[in-house]
Amino acid sequence: MFDNLSDKLDKAFHILKGHGKITEVNVADTLKEVRRALLDADVNFKIAKDFTARVKEKAIGQDVLTTLQPGQLLVKLVKDELTELMGGDVAGVNLSGNPTVILMSGLQGSGKTTFSGKLANFLKTKKNKKPLLVACDIYRPAAINQLHVVGDQIGVEVYSEPENKNPVEIAQNAIKHAKANGLNVVIVDTAGRLAVDQEMMDEIARVHKAIQPQETLFVVDSMTGQDAVNTAKAFNDILNFDGVILTKLDGDTRGGAALSIKSIVNKPIKFVGTGEKMEAIDVFYPERMAERILG
């Protein structure tokens, strides 16, 4: 993951690491390289530009040119700034509801259903919760089946009403079912489309309003680069979601989404998906991700 960016930053810092003494020109050249690397990784232009400007300001403020190890100081400044850009601290999931209702949103293929299963499994095994998965995709019977397969794999009940074409009702009935059966987390998997469209947005907005989730999570495929940021913005405008799930980080992704999303929608990335298996879920650690990017 992030090999490209990491390699490029390594190269960019090489010149600084190798020299005891650096000049303002070195710093400017290196930051130019950092910016190019960020752009290559699909980071939004303005974010990359502001990013390097901030690092430069700090570097000058900290008198980077006169320190004993200017390269290391600059690496630290870049790492700290990357961490900040991706959210600073680790963000938790609000589990205060009774039951806690979590609404999953995102495009078809983003990994919503898979992640719903992973989250249910995580909450069951790591947080001792009793989750219920809810199939609210009324258009694709295959999506309902897929959630049942996932539920069977992890031993979590799946609520569905294959004959009901009203997702609001299904979600509300599922919450009643959870209450009646002592299940304390309800994870609602919704219908996605291949691209943002009005009907999908209206539908998920109706479900959101009716069930008032403690957590609305937006699932996005990290392989989709700049598009991930645009989709995040569209969903956030409608749902004002609480957090982002970045899936498929095990793939050949360049990481631009992780860097840009927080800045554009100002919402934390909470979890990442790192594979197709139910265990392939990680809490998102901004600092770890920044370290990984820097290599």
Q: Under the rule (CB under 6 A), what is the footprint of ligand GDP? A: 106, 108-114, 192, 247-248, 250-251, 273-276, 280
Least gap, CB of 192 to ligand GDP (angstroms): 5
250 known member of a binding site: yes
CB of 243 vs ligand GDP, minimal distance in Å: 16
* Separation in Å, CA 206 to CA 17, 41, 103, 171, 211: 55, 36, 12, 11, 9
Closer CB to ligand GDP, 92 or 251, in the complex: 251
In the block, which residue shows the tokens 């996605």? Answer: 192
For ligand GDP, the closer of residues 72 and 285 by Cβ is: 285
Question: Least distance from C-beta 117 to ligand GDP, angstroms?
Answer: 8
Min dist. Cβ of residue 218 to ligand GDP (A): 11
Nearest distance from C-beta of residue 276 to ligand GDP, angstroms = 4
**126 vs 277, beta carbon nearer ligand GDP:** 277
243 CB neighbour count, 10 Å cutoff? 19
How far apart CA 71 and CA 152 sit, in angstroms, is 52
Q: Kind and range of the H or E element at 218?
A: strand 215-221
Tokens at 130, concatenated = 């009793």
Region at 32 (left for phi over 0; alpha for psi -120 to 50; beta for the rest) = alpha
Gap between the Cα atoms of 209 and 188, Å rounded: 13
- Give the nearer residue to ligand GDP in terms of CB position, either 147 or 174: 147
111 among the known binding-site residues?
A: yes
Tokens 């699932």 sit on residue: 219
CB of 206 to ligand GDP, least distance (A): 19
Whose Cβ is closer to ligand GDP: residue 39's or residue 280's? 280
Least distance CB 120 / ligand GDP (angstroms): 13
110 annotated to a ligand binding site: yes
191 known ligand binder? yes
Helix (H), strand (E), coil (C) string for 235-255: HHHHHCCCEEEEECCCCCCCC
Q: The tokens of 227 are what?
A: 């598009």
112 annotated to a ligand binding site: yes
- 192 known member of a binding site: yes
Q: How far is CA 40 from CA 4, 34, 255, 277, in A?
A: 8, 10, 10, 30
User: What is the DSSP code string of 277-293?
Assistant: STT-EEE--HHHHHHHH
The closest alpha carbon to 295, from 41, 28, 27, belongs to 41
Query: Which C-beta is closer to ligand GDP: that of 97 or that of 275?
Result: 275
Nearer to ligand GDP, 219 or 290 (CB): 219
- Residue whose Cβ sits closest to ligand GDP: 273
**193 is an annotated ligand-binding site residue:** yes
Say if residue 65 carries a ligand binding annotation: no
Annotated binding site for GTP: 106-113, 189-193, 247-250
Annotated binding site: 106-113, 189-193, 247-250
